Structure 1
Amino acid sequence: MTATGTGPAGARERLVVVGNGMASLRFLERVTEDAPGLYDVTVVGAEPVAAYNRVLLSSLLGGEVDEAACAFRGLDWYASHGIRLLTGAPVTAIDRENGLAVVGETHVLPFDKLVLAVGSTPIRLPKPGMDLPGILTFRDLADVSAIRKAAREHARAVVIGGGLLGLEAAVGLARLGVDTTLLHVMDRLMERQLDHAAADLVRRAMEARGVRVILNADTAAVEGDGRAERLRLTDGTVIPADLVVVSVGVRPSVALAQGAGLATGRGILVDDTMATSDPRIFALGECAEHRGMVYGLVEPAYEQAEVLAKHLAGHEARYAGTALSTSLKVSGLPVFSAGVVDTPESAEAVVMSDAGAGLYRKLLIEDGRLIGAVFVGDIAEQALCKALIRSGEPVAEMRDDLMFGRPAEAGTSQPLAA
């Protein structure tokens, strides 16, 4: 356990933040701006390093950036803001009666207010052989290190999962020169964000990077003598595999909250101020469940962090949920989606497609209003589309601008991190 940064104790309320990921850091940045000096702040992170940019993990895996490029704030930032930082220190229990967070086996941190930003844990498929050596997940810096080590030792890799993290893991492995196969159980990649036409462009981009893509691929078992050697699909297909990376989704981390008797569903239940069933304890990010929704993206976590910081600073702030959108680069190909992806019977689909150029745009319009958009290759109008979907403003006069771009602004928008 490593600690840095001290702040004078005094009569300030003791604020303990459990978790030091991207959501936690955004909250710390905002609460020290909105309420400087109001709290005696301690943040506890289970990982051995301070918060870093998980969006860059695939670039780190592929050798495009080094670990230093993934860092957000140096240790001096925590110290200069009076934040006590503990790293490599999992919180193992919460004593609500006495207001204590238990770190490890014996160390305790008193709190007046507690924020849970404990994220999520990767899912392992309930299939035979998933406990064999050579099967890894792709979620944090330790996973990247383990995958790179295995990739140096072995030449054949299979990635299970065609969501964003699975695609990123596959591209990263291919960049290392590893023979890589990507398996996805659905009939298209990123089915929650992309329609079939857009997903097909992404598949082509993956294959151009050297990744073999197999759709409708249901894993039956991983087999091998003492370690992973091959993967068998339910249709009988056998794929040699020295390394298997499982990226089939995550589950909100709720064990700590459940152990403390907090209300949970799929995630830790929170209200519009991000408060849990205990008004002294709050939750945000991937571990939180708000109005039945658990978000696995950075944007909602950041919005929740902003609301909670304002609330704890004594300002009126409510979280009403996030209109989901995704903006990212998949294998170097800009991709954006927001709102509805597949066309409802009641909606009109306006489509422009140039597969040869890797360009695709689809607008979904219902009752004269934009309800969804999917762009591949050129995503310059993403901000306008997001705003229109959220506002419900009529778009009859803007259809051409949305489809072909506004001449004065074409090319000025930049892709956002997912």
Structure 2
Amino acid sequence: MAISRTDPEAGARERLVVVGNGMASLRFLERLTERAPGRYDVTVVGAEPVAAYNRVLLSSLLGGEVDEAACAFRGLDWYEAHGIRLLTGAPVTAIDRESGLAIVGETHVLPFDKLVLAVGSTPIRLPKPGMELPGVITFRDLADVAAIRKAAVEHARAIVIGGGLLGLEAAVGLARRGIDTTLLHVMDRLMERQLDHAAAGLVRRAMEARGVKVRLKADTAAIEGRGRVERLRLSDGTVLPADLVVMSVGVRPSVALAREAGLATSRGITVDDRMATSDPRIFALGECAEHRGQIYGLVEPAYEQAEALSRHLAGEAASYLGTALSTSLKVSGLPVFSAGVVDTPEGAEAIVLSDPGAGLYRKLLVEDGRLIGAVFVGDVAEQGWCKALIRSGEPVGAHLDDLMFGRPAAPQTLAA
């Protein structure tokens, strides 16, 4: 089915096509409809069969703590109420920049005056033997959760490869289902980009307390089995039995669509401070976008990009200048926060409070009187303040005690 280039209902409104209906796309649409209601004739095309949902809750969904309905953001009525046409289960296969057309499948044609690419990223599979075997599953979307649940039958033995955020979440979700779960990580500590050794040690203890076996410096050599997964072999010769292998070793920005359309790409789709690509009619945001050489795989930068782009397309002056990365999560119920620098650089001072027995750890990294990094485990009450200080570069000296021990409570007023 083709859509005519002249849509009588749209009138003189500019035609805006948004490719992708994930969290970044939805945040952009929410902000655009607030700032410029009715200005654009909007069509959104999502490759997944459902509307945008909360990927942050996938591990809770896997573990049975929430159901699929709890992961939903906006119902179809919201899109309809804002005049947004939503196509689901319909990947865009090509972009004809010369004619201003987005091609859906083989025959569905969407004309555009402006186009936003929010196509996200694709999970990486290690280039090792056996990755094609049934039972090797990535952990990225609702379909992956359904596949993992199907494979995680009673008495199954699961191995999760990858000690980053998603790998930890997948392992915890499996353990909550009563599955014998082992987490493998090739580095010497979990979440090495966000945590130092002491903090990572506390996280490991929390994982193990929930029944997840953790093996560090574990390099996968191959996955083996006849017809499906039966075991995993490490490079040191260790063989681990497995019925299910969950791959969580990172993602790659989805750039194929942009590259085939002739847009500038590097590791991601190259954008400027207005989130514009090399074609000024086409924009990109979220995990697929590369801004000033940086690719972000977290929700906060995607939301900040969506904010900037919505303002720009609403006619406001707006620029995205980058995001100071931070991570805030709960690992097996243990609050964890990190921002800025994690390991102490030369010339910086590390101020540390550690109580392993209580599962409490705080480290502040200070350089030239300014906060450049923070790692908290167990109590993250001051995380917002830390993020603000790192971003502003404000002198931190007068705040160190409060950041480390918490701000004193306001005195109670005695009743008359």
User: Does 1:191 find its partner at 2:189?
Assistant: no
Give 1:331 deviation, angstroms. 1.3
Counterpart-to-counterpart distance in 2, 1:88 and 1:369 = 49
Give 1:408 deviation, angstroms. 2.6
Q: Deviations over 1:91-111 (max 9, x none)?
A: 000000100000011100000
Name 1:322's counterpart in structure 2.
323
TM-score normalised by structure 1 residue count: 0.96
* Counterpart mapping for 1:6-21 below 5 A: 8-21=9-22
Q: Deviations over 1:368-402 (max 9, x none)?
A: 11000000000000011001111111111111000
Counterpart-to-counterpart distance in 2, 1:193 and 1:11 = 49
**Conserved? CA contact 2:206–2:332, under 8 Å:** yes
Counterpart-to-counterpart distance in 2, 1:182 and 1:122 = 18
Name 1:149's counterpart in structure 2.
150
Q: Which amino acid aligns with 2:84?
A: I
Name 1:102's counterpart in structure 2.
103
Name 1:343's counterpart in structure 2.
344
Name 2:406's counterpart in structure 1.
405
Q: Which amino acid aligns with 2:369?
A: G
Counterpart-to-counterpart distance in 1, 2:278 and 2:213 = 47
Q: Which amino acid aligns with 2:107?
A: T
SS class of match (1:278): coil
Q: Which amino acid aligns with 1:348?
A: E
TM-score normalised by structure 2 residue count: 0.96
Name 2:138's counterpart in structure 1.
137
Name 2:227's counterpart in structure 1.
226
Residues paired across the two proteins, number:
406
Runs of 4+ in 1 over 6 A off after TM superposition: none
Name 2:121's counterpart in structure 1.
120
Counterpart-to-counterpart distance in 2, 1:311 and 1:382 = 30
Name 1:26's counterpart in structure 2.
27
User: Does 1:61 find its partner at 2:76?
Assistant: no
* Counterpart mapping for 1:387-398 below 5 A: 387-398=388-399
Give 1:13 deviation, angstroms. 0.3
SS class of match (2:264): coil
Name 2:173's counterpart in structure 1.
172
* Counterpart mapping for 1:361-380 below 5 A: 361-380=362-381
Name 2:210's counterpart in structure 1.
209
Counterpart-to-counterpart distance in 2, 1:148 and 1:267 = 32
Counterpart-to-counterpart distance in 2, 1:246 and 1:395 = 41
Counterpart-to-counterpart distance in 2, 1:114 and 1:154 = 49
Q: Deviations over 1:292-350 (max 9, x none)?
A: 00000000000000000000011000000000011111111100000000011211100
Give 1:12 deviation, angstroms. 0.3
User: Does 1:385 find its partner at 2:383?
Assistant: no
SS class of match (1:400): helix
Name 1:86's counterpart in structure 2.
87
Counterpart-to-counterpart distance in 2, 1:22 and 1:384 = 26
**Conserved? CA contact 1:191–1:199, under 8 Å:** yes
**Conserved? CA contact 2:369–2:396, under 8 Å:** yes
User: Does 1:50 find its partner at 2:61?
Assistant: no
Counterpart-to-counterpart distance in 1, 2:300 and 2:331 = 18
Q: Deviations over 1:66-97 (max 9, x none)?
A: 00000000000000001000000000000001
SS class of match (1:152): coil
Q: Which amino acid aligns with 1:407?
A: P
Counterpart-to-counterpart distance in 1, 2:277 and 2:200 = 38
Q: Deviations over 1:259-286 (max 9, x none)?
A: 1000000000000000000000000000
Structure 2 unmatched runs, 5+: 2-6, 412-416
Name 2:298's counterpart in structure 1.
297
Counterpart-to-counterpart distance in 2, 1:341 and 1:221 = 32
Deviates more, 1:372-381 or 1:147-156: 147-156
SS class of match (1:169): helix
Counterpart-to-counterpart distance in 2, 1:179 and 1:128 = 24
Give 1:409 deviation, angstroms. 7.4
Deviates more, 1:279-288 or 1:8-17: 8-17
Counterpart-to-counterpart distance in 1, 2:199 and 2:106 = 50
Q: Which amino acid aligns with 2:25?
A: S
Q: Which amino acid aligns with 1:264?
A: T
Q: Which amino acid aligns with 1:118?
A: V
SS class of match (1:235): coil
Q: Which amino acid aligns with 1:319?
A: Y
**Pairwise CA RMSD of aligned residues?**
1.3
**Conserved? CA contact 1:157–1:245, under 8 Å:** yes
Structure 1 unmatched runs, 5+: 411-418
Counterpart-to-counterpart distance in 2, 1:345 and 1:260 = 45
Q: Deviations over 1:163-196 (max 9, x none)?
A: 0000000000011111000000000000000000
Give 1:8 deviation, angstroms. 3.2
Name 2:183's counterpart in structure 1.
182
Name 2:264's counterpart in structure 1.
263
Name 1:359's counterpart in structure 2.
360
Give 1:7 deviation, angstroms. 10
Name 2:313's counterpart in structure 1.
312
The percentage of aligned residue pairs carrying the same residue is: 86
